[in-house]
A and B are shown apart, each in its own frame.
Chain A
Amino acid sequence: MIKLLSGNEALALGAYHAGVRVATAYPGTPSTEILESLACYDDIHAEWSTNEKVAMEVALGASYAGARALVSMKQVGLNVASDPFMSASTTGVNGGLVVVSVDDPGIHSSQNEQDNRHYAKFAKVPMLEPSDSQEAYELVQYAFDISERFDTPVLVRLTTRIAHSKSVVKVAGSRSVPIHQPDFQPDVPKYVMLPVYARLRRPLMEERLTKLFSYTETFPFNRIMRGESRLGVVTSGVACQYAREVFPQASFLKLGMTYPLPQNLLRRFAAQVDRVIVIEELDPFLQENIQAMGIKVTGKEFIPRLGELTPDIIEEGCRSAGLLPKSSPRQVEPAPELPSRPPLLCAGCPYTGLFYVLSSIGQRAKLVKSKVKVTKKSKLIITGDIGCYTLATYPPLVAMDTCACMGAGIGQALGMEKAGVSNKVVAVIGDSTFLHSGITGLVNAVYNKGQITLIILDNHTTAMTGHQDHPGTGISAQGKETKAVELEQLVQGIGVSDVKVVDGFNLKALRASVRNSLNSPELSVIIVRGDCPVLVPTRAKPLVVDTEKCDQCSTCLLLGCPAIQTDDGQTYIDTALCVGDACNLCQQLCPQQAIGPQPEITA
């Protein structure tokens, strides 16, 4: 059967066909679609876990019980899951355990750029890297077999370009499930990592690595493709595809298992060609490991080590290294100085009002001759976190000072306070992020006598990654009704007595509660609630600007709402974008009361 599938879809289908029984994940671009695809199957358990650490632990438990399990995440997700990941490498597995890491070279939507291939070497586990959707489909199936055969978790590593590119895949008709019934067999020295037992596992890990070093030599996806002997290219992942277009005549060693690396195969290849180069994205992972074998290669001397690779970038680098003839300049420079188009909070977002209030209390932006100017003041320190709301960093709201990683805002706020800053400190976090890793930060702040204000933004979804459910929504990844976490009760249980719930669309109430919390000596929590307009689209009456009353003061522009636009100096509201009077922040804000629902047109 032929299908057009993205890398994520193909990997999910491959895992399903390989008999996976338990799949876990926390949403994270560019990996989210893997679990979304697996959740469509009724005969397996696919869950959104609270965070990647829990996801890894659930998958590990399933594996110990003899079931094939898969956990997927974006690159930084593996940082969160690294504790159980490293332990899984020590204990080994029972049912195959596949860990999928989808890295984000070029930082399309992440807080950093990191090359997770290092994790494989660090954890001493084998790693497979598909170079297109077909390989994603096939390699994940090999991964389960390798996991069971060598008693190890297996890292399958993709990048954004593989995950989100669609290509043609030939797939099997159906799923083949392993024959054994999942059943946990007690094996204390294997599963209980007291020092005495962990010490016994260490030499087993080294033995397993030795066996894998032999296995990788004949792994079917490590292939020499003979071309001209002038140049040999070692490559893996999506870089393979670009390299084949840049050097259609060269000889290639295309690697599908990139840890451990096949030493003998590499030596044989190097002997067949005059010169060996490595074309890889991000770190010189392949290059340094190959050089450590004593094989002479170059790569990062002319291929960039940061950002995403493209065929153009590779060509340019190879030209500068003398590997390609210098051609006449093709004049492919982009047009200079075009306005950029950063993503924004949507029209009707329940968080816009809150950030406007923080921005104005913090005096972070002001109107100068009806133009919005950022003040660069910090009357208020706003420690932020990861989600749609991070977009409030941009002008005109400029309402965020930090964003490091999931849940970090709360700890950072306490850290600022304990360091002795004179400004008031506010931490903002979304509902899904809070459940992911904010709870521990709040417990810490209460326990360590913080006075910060914590604002939990609750739109009842994990929005930025595509509106997935989470433990606060009461619906599971597979659409089943379940218990929903009650944020107010949770926060009170942690020991916070000053907890307020405020409507995200009521500017007056938002301002009052924020001022109240800032002035209180106690730690306080404000839960700002409202529906996400993408998830709950409303068909309310659109708002319009009464041009008679409007004096072009531009106050409404301070909201940063994409529906509010200007044409020749006159402010107007784009009715295609405005969600209508379900959100009427601009109406509440306008000093001239020039904004209101579209008047009825009487015939």
Chain B
Amino acid sequence: MGGQGIILASDIIVETALASGYDVKKTDTKGMARRGGSVVSHVRIARQVWSPLIKAGEVDILLALEKLEAARWAHYLRPGGITIVNNQALPPLSVILGYDQYPSDKEITDILKRRTDHVYFVDGARRAKELGNIRTLNIFMLGCASLFAPFKVHIWKESISQRLPPRIRQININAFDKGRKEIQGIHLKEGSSKI
């Protein structure tokens, strides 16, 4: 959702990928998104990238900072792809006003499981608050995703540090580490699952 720091997060992914020797393109759908609309970033990493847009059914990693948005983009996942979802609901106004219904957890899980079994729900908002600042949610989620990406941890951390002012660097590095540990804790051996 707009305002959660998705564009910064995807910027960090592309810079990490570039520093790791890949070609990379990314595109953001923004515009009015800061006003609480949906924001999505497509990031493509390869030896050579043409299209900035990912084709439906070809997303390797779907990183969602909100549950409804995860369901909205589920159909873009590659069968068997990985999805990491921040277990937070931010209902749109239509739901609050009673015009629409927010999908239940079961409905959301079903939508995701139609594409893949690799579905990880994480309590990102709670972890970020535990660290002291809800705004570290986006970097926490990057930490979660980092286990499935072929980039070294120190390069991730360099990209994060370069992008943030000194006074919030450490708390965000902590958030990254916490995200990594969170997924590691969910029965995954480090390094065993790569793209």
> What residues make up the interface of A, taking CB atoms closer than 8 Å to B?
2, 4, 29-30, 108-109, 132, 161, 164-168, 238, 240-242, 244-245, 310-312, 315, 330-335, 338-346, 371-372, 388, 391, 394-396, 464, 534, 557, 560, 562, 564-566, 576
Is the C-beta of B27 less than 8 angstroms from some C-beta in chain A?
A: yes
Is the beta-carbon distance between B98 and A4 smaller than 8 angstroms? no
Is the C-beta of B188 less than 8 angstroms from some C-beta in chain A?
A: no
Is the C-beta of B118 less than 8 angstroms from some C-beta in chain A?
A: no
Q: Mark B115-143, 1 if CB is under 8 A from A, else 0.
A: 00000000000000000001000000000
Is the beta-carbon distance between A344 and B24 smaller than 8 angstroms? no
| Chain A residues within an 8 Å CB radius of B14 | 4, 166
Known: A108-B31, A164-B27, A167-B24. A339 touches B55 (CB 8 A): no
CA distance A164 to B10 in the complex (A): 13
CA distance A333 to B98 in the complex (A): 26
6 A–B pairs (Cβ distance < 8 Å), ordered by A: A242-B53, A244-B51, A333-B75, A339-B92, A342-B37, A396-B93
| Chain A residues within an 8 Å CB radius of B93 | 342, 344, 394-396, 560, 562
Is the beta-carbon distance between B24 and A168 smaller than 8 angstroms? yes
Is the beta-carbon distance between B96 and A566 smaller than 8 angstroms? yes
Residue from B52, B55, B92, B101 within 8 A of A341 (CB atoms) = B92
| Chain B residues within an 8 Å CB radius of A242 | 50-51, 53
| Contacts beyond the supplied A338-B71, A341-B36: 19 A-B pairs with Cβ under 8 Å | A4-B24, A109-B32, A161-B27, A164-B28, A164-B29, A164-B30, A165-B25, A165-B27, A166-B26, A167-B25, A311-B53, A312-B56, A330-B56, A340-B100, A341-B1, A395-B93, A395-B94, A464-B35, A564-B96
Is the beta-carbon distance between A339 and B50 smaller than 8 angstroms? no
> What residues make up the interface of B, taking CB atoms closer than 8 Å to A?
1-2, 11, 14-15, 18, 23-38, 49-53, 55-57, 68-69, 71-72, 74-76, 91-103, 111, 114, 134
- State how many angstroms separate the Cβ of B3 from the closest Cβ of chain A: 9
CA distance A164 to B53 in the complex (A): 12
Is the beta-carbon distance between B75 and A4 smaller than 8 angstroms? no
Is the beta-carbon distance between A565 and B31 smaller than 8 angstroms? no
Name, among B2, B26, B52, B102, the residue most crowded by chain A CB atoms within 10 Å (CB to CB).
B52
Known: A166-B14, A310-B55. A341 touches B37 (CB 8 A): yes
Is the beta-carbon distance between A332 and B72 smaller than 8 angstroms? no
Is the beta-carbon distance between B100 and A576 smaller than 8 angstroms? no
| Chain B residues within an 8 Å CB radius of A312 | 55-56
Known: A109-B31, A109-B32, A534-B34. A338 touches B96 (CB 8 A): no
Known: A167-B52, A332-B57, A339-B92. A396 touches B35 (CB 8 A): no
- State how many angstroms separate the Cβ of A493 from the closest Cβ of chain B: 34
| Chain B residues within an 8 Å CB radius of A564 | 96
Is the beta-carbon distance between A310 and B26 smaller than 8 angstroms? no
